[in-house]
């Protein structure tokens, strides 16, 4: 498989990959197309494949009004990642390797937890936050957003950590390492892929959250981009160019982060962490 | 076996248990604070009659299982149950198959593979209102790009979102599109964890790509696949936004799922009905619970095998 | 929540709910807090996020606060917010001093016991047009005053009508309107678009035809109602209206009209400015009733309401703020800021006509308009409306005949309202 056949096969794969991406991202192109289309042309029949008579109003509005919201969203996303990891990593380790009593029950709780409708969660948070004074704070929103990711993260860590060979841990323990040190120096480095996967999800969920932000951070001076977009949706009118333009602009830093994260996964693998 | 060790281990076993609990403690505290109340609240809502007035005044009438009985005997129920099954199973089957195919495709590096793979996740960066609106835009009966392309091939107008025959299919397609990144990421990470030497050994045996996939990749990916499917099931059961934005569950309930029904009862009309909405929500929790049971059973079987 | 597609109207209700979160800066009941300067802060929620802090609207709210001697903290919510959150605020006892509510929501919140009747703090409501303020009445008490009103009419594309040889003045009843639509179709253009979406917006758009046929909301399956729905259904079937009307929000309908391909679009007062900027000359005609004359159209627009406060002394200032918002000049200013709201008092209407004579047909439309919750339907209206739009959806998509769809709707409405 790794013989001389390799090179042509791979070039062929690149072409297929590009085609697949093009198909997958067609709706994204369409969004971009709409962001540049004049309101009068938006519902043209047949639709315009290309915004040959573009308007930049949407971008002007988005750039002028949404940059602070963008920064807030990035911050909230990163905060959510940190909190999720802090709660979920030890728990995943415990469930996968230390086998506390009641681990099975915990599985169910995590599954059920994820089924609670977001709106009900939001109502619960509202009642709690109003008493704690956490309404309209970024910290409060980070905590709320983390509930989207924590059950998932624990389940995923558990699944991945279960695959780490027991012998590795046993060896460390023979060397005199305690549970904490085993966790830190064996488990964590070996969990790099799953940590990055979880981080990605935690970030994306926080990034796209609307319900918590809308319930808990309405009156705040700092609002995330998902709320920011709503200034373009008036009572009876909708400014589609601005909405789509905001989505385009907001995707750029997030896409950048994605590419970096993906490189890390690749690096982790080539470093051969798991195999050593 | 763990239980045996614990029992036999005496003091050591007990200290092990404490350590395990210590590692678990942050999660337990977290769950108690942030999930217990909402869950309690959802149950409380479903066994009372929370009219808007009762909601504000805090004096709802206790109705026991009445809301559940109403839901189950409602005309919408069977329809929504059927739609939920079709939407959920259709979505996760297609997402999983496509996600796995893509993960395998990207598994071996090739030029641009990292960038292309990252681009697959872009749909996820878009706020749901944007992606769902874009889909309804593309699927519009008259001025949608999809029909415009089909017409170029001589296929007549398909009323994707407005015909009772196709609206469920349309929202399912959009949902599959949204779910591919999730499946791709997890399954790809799972593939990375399969040691390369196994493939090399198989390669030496003269196995072809197809055989390698069925003999090595697929079986070794089973735990990750199981969790992907289970989570996929749970997230798909919950989906509201995309359906709500595209069809409102219509026309005439043709794309109403249990989740959108619950949403509609609570927020889709001028008059919020929290109690039946919560009852439908709890039914969904039960379904997820059942799926969880099946998952654990299968896992146990696997462990014993 | 398509945020387009959620009905603007229902949405406003939902929006307000989100307001709940708004008041959080003043968690204790009443929402008022003393500021450093010793002044008092009053909280104000409205569903106009498109008007930010520097907008004319925000300044107007501020100046009414200043006139009453307080600072107003205004929070705007998008129209997709959630009803439970408005109710949450009531439940948690931290409702704001003033909420601008979409009119069908007034009965709901009043019925929930969240609102103070205008008479209870001595605000005179007799100046307001009877047909408009009716939506704020429940069991003989008035719980809100309209800051303005909007309603529906038929916008037309003059170029298309001229080409097709249609004189808009010839549209007097359904028969003449039907003839006009046929002429447009014969001329190769698209005759009409409207919003038949399965939300409150769908009912809102259907009501002029429903009422115009002589049907009543208490009897959804009357022969008149069936006639109205048959009219809409035949438009879709015969290609007079596009199939997309089944999922169209009012906003989408408008975007379709702006392409210049449609002769008519059913839409509201709020598109006046956009129509003026369209790439073709436009005009409006009133929606005809079946046998001639103008069909009653539903009123839209927000009401100022005053949530119940523990500290009843706050009402004195609230009253001043409300009075400031509803002087004739105030109503005109609101009307133009929102492009357009028709003032809700006779004096206000005269004042705005002096300034903008072209609004005359809209003022007339608003005067003959009818509140959706009137006829003492109150909190029953949302249930009836849901049954109605469901029936409309069934008929338009062809899954039931208009008669069958409305029969089911009537059963559903009866069941839901407990009559």
Same domain, C402 and C326: no
Residues C138, C64 share a domain: yes
Positive/negative CA dihedral, A187, A193, A194, A195: positive
Residue A236 is nearest to which of C19, C23, C251, comparing CB atoms?
A: C251
Mutate to test the interface with A, among C24, C76, C261 (most CBs of A within 10 A): C24
Residue C33, classed as helix, strand or coil, is: coil
Contact C75 A218 (CB under 8 A): yes
Q: For residue B274, give the nearest of C84, C379, C381 by CB distance.
A: C84
CB contact under 8 A, A210 and B124: no
Average pLDDT on C281-310 reads 92
Pair (C139, C204) in one structural domain: no
> What domains lie within chain B, and their CATH numbers?
55-304 (1.10.3720.10)
In sequence order, what are the residues at sequence separation of 6 or more whose Cβ sits closer than 8 angstroms to the Cβ of residue B262? A117, B240, B276, B277, B278, B280, B281, B284
pLDDT of C32 over the 50 cut: no
pLDDT at A48: 86
CB-based contact, C43 to chain A, within 8 Å? no
Q: Which whole number is the average pLDDT over B264-278?
A: 80
pLDDT score of C232: 96
More confident call, C220 vs B155 = C220
What confidence tens digit (pLDDT) does each residue in A13-70 have?
Answer: 899 999 999 999 999 999 999 999 888 888 888 888 888 888 898 899 888 888 889 9
Residues of chain C found within 8 Å of residue A216, distances taken between Cβ atoms: 21
Mean pLDDT computed over C269-273: 88
Cβ–Cβ contact B2 with A under 8 A: yes
Local confidence band at A266 (pLDDT 50, 70, 90 cut-offs): low
- Judging contacts by C-beta atoms under 8 Å, the chain A residues touching residue C11 are 235
Neighbours of C379 (CB within 10 A): 22
Query: How would residue C22 be classed by pLDDT, with cut points 50, 70 and 90?
Result: very low
Q: How many CB atoms lie within 10 A of CB C138?
A: 21
Instruction: State mean pLDDT over B60-77.
Output: 89
For residue A6, pLDDT beyond 60 = no
Q: What chains are in contact with A, requiring at least 3 Cβ pairs below 8 Å?
A: B, C
Q: Which of chain C's residues have a Cβ under 8 Å away from the Cβ of A227?
A: 78
Alpha carbons C419 and C415: distance in angstroms, whole number: 7
Domain that holds residue C84: 8-149+301-367
How far is it, in rounded angstroms, from Cα C174 to Cα C160? 20
Which of C79, C82, C274 is closest, CB to CB, to A235? Answer: C79
- Choice between A269 and C383, residue whose per-residue pLDDT is larger: C383
> At CB < 8 Å, which residues of chain B contact C?
51-53, 55-58, 129, 132-133, 136, 140-143, 157, 159, 161-164, 241, 244-254, 266-272, 274
pLDDT in tens, B213-247: 888 888 888 888 888 898 899 889 888 889 988 99
ipTM of the complex: 0.84
Q: Specify the range with the lowest mean pLDDT, choosing from A35-39, C248-252, C332-336, C375-379.
A: C375-379
CATH for A56-270, options being 1.10.3720.10, 3.30.10.20, 1.20.910.10, 2.40.50.90: 1.10.3720.10
pLDDT band for position A88 (50/70/90)?
very high
Q: Are the beta carbons of C12 and A126 separated by less than 8 Å?
A: no
Whether residue B270 and residue C382 make contact (CB cut-off 8 A), yes or no, is yes
Residue predicted with more confidence, C290 or C31 = C290
pLDDT at site A265: 59
Q: What's the length of chain A? A: 276
Mean pLDDT computed over C245-262: 92
Same domain, C189 and C258: yes
Nearest Cα neighbor of C387 from B277, B270, B82 is B270
Neighbours of chain C (3+ CB pairs under 8 A): A, B
Q: Nearest CB to A236: which of C8, C19, C77?
A: C8
Residue C3, in any domain of the structure: no
Same domain, yes or no, for C231 and C161? Answer: yes
**Domain assignment present for C326:** yes
Average pLDDT of every residue of chain C: 85
Q: Measured between beta carbons, which residues in chain B are less than 8 angstroms from residue C240?
A: none
pLDDT at residue A248 greater than cutoff 80: yes
Nearest-Cα residue of chain C relative to residue A238: C4
Question: Which residues in chain A are closer than 8 Å to B266, comparing Cβ atoms?
Answer: 119
Distance of alpha carbon C39 from alpha carbon C37, whole angstroms: 5
A250 vs B145: CB contact, 8 Å cut-off?
Answer: no
Check whether B1 has a pLDDT greater than 50: no
| pLDDT classification of C274: cutoffs 50, 70, 90 | confident
Task: Look at chain C and report how many structural domains it folds into.
Answer: 2
φ, ψ of residue C398 to 5 degrees: the values are 80, 10
Cα separation values, C173 from C214, C290, C292, Å:
13, 5, 4
CA distance C284 to chain B (A): 25
Please indicate if any CB of chain B lies within 8 Å of the CB of A152.
Answer: yes
More confident residue, A120 or B95: B95
The answer on C391 and C266 residing in a single domain is yes
Q: Are strands C41-46 and C71-76 parallel, antiparallel or unpaired?
A: parallel
Residue B87 at interface with chain A, using a CB cutoff of 8 Å: no
The predicted structure's pLDDT at residue B271: 76
Q: C79 and C174 share a domain?
A: no
Q: How far apart are CA A115 and CA C332, in angstroms?
A: 50
Nearest to C20, CA basis, from C81, C62, C79, C65? C81
- Supply the pLDDT for residue B3: 39
Domain check: are C274 and C308 in the same one?
no
What pLDDT is recorded for position C298?
94
Looking at chain C, the whole-number percentage of residues with pLDDT higher than 70 is 88
Of C2, C199, C259, the CB nearest to B133: C2
Tell me whether residues A147 and B34 touch, CB distance under 8 A. Answer: yes
Q: A43 vs C22: CB contact, 8 Å cut-off?
A: no
Question: Within the 382-411 window of chain C, which residues sit less than 8 Å (CB to CB) from chain A?
Answer: none
CA B135 → CA A251, B129, B175, B177, distances in Å? 18, 10, 10, 10
Q: Which residue in chain C has the smallest CA separation from A127? A: C92
Where is average pLDDT lowest: A72-81, C160-169, C226-235, C270-279?
Answer: C270-279
**Residue C353: inside a domain, yes or no?**
yes
pLDDT in tens, C108-138: 888 888 999 999 888 888 999 988 998 888 8
- Residue B8, pLDDT > 50, answer no
Domain boundary among C327, C348, C367: C367
What would the mean pLDDT of B83-101 be, rounded to a whole number? 95
Q: Which of residues 306-325 of C touch A (CB under 8 A)?
A: none
pLDDT tens track for C203-243: 999 999 999 999 999 999 999 999 999 999 999 999 999 99
DSSP state of A45: S
Whole-number pLDDT of residue A234: 67
Cα B121 from Cα B103, distance rounded (Å): 12
Residue C141 pairs in a beta bridge with C138
How far does A78 lie from chain C, in Å, by closest CA? Answer: 24
DSSP string, C326-346: TSHHHHHHHHHHTT--B-SBH
What is the residue extent of each domain of chain A?
56-270
The pLDDT of residue B4 is 38
For residues C104 and C219, membership in a common domain is answered with no
Is residue C287 included in any domain, yes or no?
Answer: yes
- Both C66 and C12 in a single domain? yes
Mean pLDDT computed over A192-215? 85
Q: Is residue C309 part of a domain?
A: yes
Q: What is the 3-state secondary structure (H, E, C) of chain C?
A: CCCCCCCHHHHHHHHHHHHHHHHHHCCCCCCCCECCCCCEEEEEEECCCCCCCCCHHHHHHHHHHHHCCCEEEEEECCCCCCHHHHHHHHHHCCCCCEEEEEHHHHHHHHHCCCECCHHHHCCCCCCECHHHHHHHEECCEECEEECCEECEEEEEEHHHHHHHCCCHHHCCCHHHHHHHHHHHHHCCCEEEECCCCCCHHHHHHHHHHHHHCCCECCECCCHHHHHHHHHHHHHHHCCCCCHHHHCCCHHHHHHHHHCCCEEEEEEEHHHHHHHHCCCCCEEEECCECCCCCECCCECECEEEECECCCCCCHHHHHHHHHHHHCCHHHHHHHHHHCCCCECCEHHHHHHHHHHCHHHHHHHHHHHCCECCCCCCCHHHHHHHHHHHHHHHHHHHCCCCCHHHHHHHHHHHHHHHHCC
B238: closest CA of chain A, how far (Å): 7
Query: Mind listing the pLDDT tens digit for each residue in A142-199?
Result: 999 999 899 989 988 887 888 788 888 787 777 777 888 888 888 888 888 888 888 9
> With an 8 Å Cβ cutoff, is C95 touching chain A?
no
pLDDT at residue A238, as a whole number: 82
C341-367 mean pLDDT: 90
- Report, as an integer, the average pLDDT of B262-272: 79
A46 touches chain C (CB under 8 A): no
Residue C1 domain flag: no
Q: Name the pLDDT band for A89 (thresholds 50, 70, 90).
A: very high
pLDDT of the residue at A12: 86
Contacts of C261 in chain A (CB under 8 A): 44-45
Residue B124 has pLDDT above 60, yes or no: yes
CB pair distance less than 8 Å for B113 and A106? no
Domain of C309, CATH number, reads 3.40.190.10
């Amino acid at each position: 498989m790794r013989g001389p056949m390799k090179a042509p096969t791979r070039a062929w794969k690149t072409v297929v990959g590009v085609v697949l991406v093009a198909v997958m991202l067609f709706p994204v192109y369409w969004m971009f197309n709409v962001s540049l289309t004049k309101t009068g042309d938006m519902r043209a029949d047949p639709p315009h494949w290309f915004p040959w008579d573009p308007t930049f109003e949407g971008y002007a509005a988005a750039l002028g009004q949404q940059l602070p919201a963008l920064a807030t969203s990035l911050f909230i996303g990163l905060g959510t990642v940190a909190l999720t990891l802090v709660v979920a990593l030890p728990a995943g380790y415990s469930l996968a390797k230390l086998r506390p009593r009641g681990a099975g029950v915990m599985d169910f709780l995590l599954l059920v937890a994820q089924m609670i409708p977001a709106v009900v969660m939001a109502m619960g948070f509202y009642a709690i936050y109003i008493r704690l004074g956490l309404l309209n704070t970024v910290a409060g929103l980070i905590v709320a957003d983390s509930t989207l990711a924590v059950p998932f993260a624990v389940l995923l860590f558990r699944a991945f950590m279960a695959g780490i060979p027991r012998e590795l841990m046993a060896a460390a323990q023979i060397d005199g390492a305690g549970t904490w040190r085993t966790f830190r120096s064996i488990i964590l480095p070996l969990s790099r892929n799953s940590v990055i996967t979880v981080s990605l999800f935690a970030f994306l969920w926080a990034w796209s959250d609307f319900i918590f932000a809308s319930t808990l951070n309405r009156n705040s001076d700092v609002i995330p981009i998902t709320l920011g977009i709503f200034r373009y949706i008036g009572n009876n009118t909708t400014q589609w160019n601005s909405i789509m333009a905001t989505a385009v602009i907001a995707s750029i830093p997030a896409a950048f982060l994605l590419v970096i994260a993906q490189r890390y996964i690749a690096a982790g693998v080539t470093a051969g962490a798991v195999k050593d | 076996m763990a239980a045996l060790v614990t029992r036999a281990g005496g003091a050591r076993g007990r200290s092990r248990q404490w350590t395990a609990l210590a590692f678990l403690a942050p999660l337990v505290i977290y769950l108690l604070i942030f999930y217990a109340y909402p869950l309690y609240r959802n149950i409380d809502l479903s066994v009372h009659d929370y009219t808007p007035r009762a909601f504000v005044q805090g004096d709802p009438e206790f109705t026991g299982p009445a809301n559940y009985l109403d839901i189950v005997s409602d005309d919408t129920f069977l329809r929504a149950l059927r739609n939920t099954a079709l939407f959920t199973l259709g979505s996760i089957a297609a997402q999983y198959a496509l996600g796995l195919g893509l993960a395998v495709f990207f598994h071996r590096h090739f030029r641009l593979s990292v960038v292309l793979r990252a681009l697959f996740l872009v749909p996820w960066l878009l706020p749901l209102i944007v992606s769902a609106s874009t889909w309804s835009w593309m699927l519009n009966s008259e001025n949608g790009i999809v029909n415009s392309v089909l017409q170029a091939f001589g296929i007549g107008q398909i009323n994707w979102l407005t015909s009772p025959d196709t609206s469920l299919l349309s929202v399912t397609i959009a949902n599959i599109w949204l779910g591919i990144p999730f499946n791709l990421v997890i399954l790809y990470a799972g593939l990375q964890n399969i040691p390369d030497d196994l493939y090399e050994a198989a390669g030496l045996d003269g196995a072809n790509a197809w055989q390698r996939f069925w003999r090595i990749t697929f079986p070794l990916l089973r735990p990750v696949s199981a969790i992907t499917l289970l989570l996929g099931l749970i997230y798909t059961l919950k989906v509201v936004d995309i359906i709500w934005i595209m069809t409102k569950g219509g026309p005439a309930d043709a794309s109403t799922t249990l989740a959108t029904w619950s949403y509609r009862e609570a927020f889709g009309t001028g008059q919020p009905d929290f109690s039946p909405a919560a009852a439908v929500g709890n039914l969904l929790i039960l379904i997820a619970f059942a799926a969880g049971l099946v998952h654990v059973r299968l896992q146990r079987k696997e462990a014993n095998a | 929540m398509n945020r387009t597609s959620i009905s603007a109207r229902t949405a406003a209700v939902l929006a307000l709910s989100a307001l709940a979160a708004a008041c959080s800066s003043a968690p204790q009941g009443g929402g008022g807090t003393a500021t450093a300067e010793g002044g008092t802060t009053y909280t104000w929620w409205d569903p106009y996020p498109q008007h930010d802090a520097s907008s004319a609207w925000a300044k107007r709210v501020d100046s009414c606060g200043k006139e009453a001697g307080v600072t107003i903290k205004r929070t705007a919510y998008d129209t997709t917010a959630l009803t439970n959150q408005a109710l949450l605020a009531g439940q948690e006892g931290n409702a704001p001093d003033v909420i601008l509510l979409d009119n069908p929501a007034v009965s709901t919140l009043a019925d929930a016991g969240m609102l103070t009747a205008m008479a209870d703090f001595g605000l005179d409501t007799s100046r307001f047009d009877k047909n408009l303020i009716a939506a704020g009445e429940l069991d003989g008490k008035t719980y809100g005053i309209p800051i303005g009103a909007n309603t529906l009419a038929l916008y037309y594309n003059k170029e298309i009508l001229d080409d097709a040889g249609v004189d808009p003045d010839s549209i007097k009843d359904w028969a003449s309107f039907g003839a006009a639509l046929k002429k447009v179709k014969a001329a190769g253009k698209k005759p009409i678009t409207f919003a038949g979406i399965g939300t409150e917006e769908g009912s809102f758009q259907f009501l002029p035809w429903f009422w115009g046929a002589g049907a009543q909301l208490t009897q959804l399956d009357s022969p008149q109602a069936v006639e109205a729905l048959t009219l809409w259904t035949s438009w879709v079937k015969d290609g007079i209206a596009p199939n997309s009307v089944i999922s169209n929000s009012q906003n989408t309908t408008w975007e379709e009209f702006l392409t210049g391909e449609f002769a008519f679009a059913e839409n509201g007062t709020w598109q006046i400015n956009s129509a003026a900027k369209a790439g073709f000359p436009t005009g409006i005609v009133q929606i005809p009733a079946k046998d001639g004359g103008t069909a009653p159209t539903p009123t839209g627009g927000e009401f100022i309401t005053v949530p119940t406060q523990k500290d009843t002394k706050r009402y004195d200032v609230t009253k001043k703020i409300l009075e400031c918002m509803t002087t004739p000049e105030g109503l005109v200013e609101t009307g133009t800021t929102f492009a357009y709201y028709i003032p809700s008092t006779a004096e206000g209407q005269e004042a705005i006509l002096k300034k903008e004579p072209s609004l005359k047909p809209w003022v007339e439309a608003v005067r003959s308009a009818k509140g959706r919750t009137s006829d003492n339907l109150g909190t029953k209206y949302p249930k009836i409306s849901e049954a109605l739009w469901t029936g409309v959806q069934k008929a338009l998509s062809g899954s039931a005949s208009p008669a069958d769809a409305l029969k089911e709707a009537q059963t559903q409405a009866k069941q839901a309202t407990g009559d």
